[in-house]
Amino acid sequence: MTHNRIRPLMVMDSLSVGGTETYVLSLVKTFPSIGVVPVYAGASGVMYDAFVRAGCPIHLVGLTAEQLMDPERQKQADYALTQIMRSRKIDLLHIHQTPSGLYAADAARKLGIPVVFTVHGAYYPPDQLQLMKEAGCTFVSVSPPVQGYLDYQGIPSYLIANGVDFEQYRSEPSAALRAQLNIHEGEKIVVYASRLAWDKAVVCAMLVRAARTIRLSGSTPLHVVIAGSGNQSAVIAELAEAVNQECGTTFVHLVGSQLQMRDYYNLGDLVVGTGRVALEAMACGKPVLAIGNHGYFGLVDQPVYDEAWQYYFGDHNSKERPSEQLIGAAITEALASADRLEAVGRQGQAWARANFHIRDKALQMKQLYGDLLTRT
């Protein structure tokens, strides 16, 4: 059975701002050029317009966890997904989250459509993963630790890393944004990009306190720009206001969720992040201090590229627990030499381009799709 043009249905909880959604958008933008024609189904969100601009047909279906708690909504979702798969002549279902993915997988199974499930972290509950396995899903891991997490539970998976769109994420001047934030030329900027929830919010708080200590020492005129939102946003905002008052100046800047993260990565002398954020920042030529949900990794420099990938930049594995002191020392050391920092960014950009280009990952995904369809 030969498929020149494959029609996958991409299902997510919603089109909110996050690493999973950004990754799916990058695939959706790349797929048509390699003969894959994607369709989206799920709830709406702030990334709706970006998916429309990518030319992706969108079917709004209530698939958030809250909506699916209602049995009547479950029936409506099942009916809607079944109709979409039939009317769009969908070849294959690609899911990314639970519980939305589980309902979509059940609908696909009734129609005899293969299901691919990309596992984006080690935070999926084992019982839900087993349900996905029983539903006949083919699993994809985004990192070696995730693949190990699945292996431990007796679930085999294909390793296909996140890919980055190097047309979207590239080096650019940032003078206009710097002026907008009233940060003077010569003052150093650390950018933190993440959802402000779970352990990532804890890391953000450590970063703010570490920056306060550096600022009060008078050693470095440092600014911290925090891009992201989440259920801990108010806590971080309160902390930022307190340290800004203590230091007598606004040096911690909260900018909320941003659809155009390239501008903010390019603003930074150093980006603190993990997972997909690390890859996007490196694509922009920026040095990365990797700290994630799992813990602390450190500066992503040439000698540790392979190790950083094996840890997925601290998001899925780590070297040690982060602390205010550890983060402060790492920032101080990194910012001590502008020339070295620039070289780290330049080398990181070349490595990321060679190993995480979205077109390469889209081709790997298409190959997997094709292999599954030849078996049906």
Q: What is the pLDDT of residues 128-159, one digit of tens each?
A: 999 999 999 999 999 999 999 999 999 999 99
| Contact indicator for 96, 12 with CB cutoff of 8 Å | yes
Same domain flag for 73 and 198: no
Same domain flag for 151 and 250: no
Composition of the chain by helix, strand, coil, percent to 5: 50, 15, 35
pLDDT at position 173, please? 96
Q: What is the pLDDT of residues 32-59, one digit of tens each?
A: 999 999 999 999 999 999 999 999 999 9
pLDDT at position 282, please? 98
Residue 117 lies in a domain: yes
**Which is nearest to 161 in space by CA: 116, 130, 105, 119?**
119
Same domain flag for 54 and 139: yes
Strand order in the sheet with 288-291: 252-256, 222-227, 188-193, 270-273, 288-291, 296-299
CA–CA distance, 160 with 360 (Å, rounded to integer): 10
Residue 1 lies in a domain: no
Residue 144 lies in a domain: yes
Same domain flag for 66 and 137: yes
* pTM: predicted TM-score of the whole model, two decimal places: 0.94
- Only one residue has tokens 């292999």, namely 371
CA–CA distance, 40 with 55 (Å, rounded to integer): 11
Residue 2 lies in a domain: no
376, pLDDT greater than 90? no
Q: What is the pLDDT of residues 291-340, one digit of tens each?
A: 998 999 999 999 999 999 999 999 999 999 999 999 999 999 999 999 99
Task: Give the CATH number of the domain where residue 143 resides.
Answer: 3.40.50.2000
233, pLDDT greater than 90? yes
Same domain flag for 114 and 245: no
Residue 119 lies in a domain: yes
Residue 169 lies in a domain: no
Burial class (CB in 10 A: 0-12, 13-18, 19+), 72: exposed
Same domain flag for 13 and 126: yes
Q: What is the pLDDT of residues 173-223, one digit of tens each?
A: 999 999 999 999 999 999 999 999 989 999 999 999 999 999 999 989 999
Residue 91 lies in a domain: yes
- Only one residue has tokens 């431990």, namely 152
Same domain flag for 26 and 136: yes
Same domain flag for 113 and 186: no
Same domain flag for 301 and 196: yes
Same domain flag for 81 and 99: yes
Domain containing residue 331: 175-355
CA–CA distance, 369 with 178 (Å, rounded to integer): 44
Total tally of structural domains belonging to the chain: 2
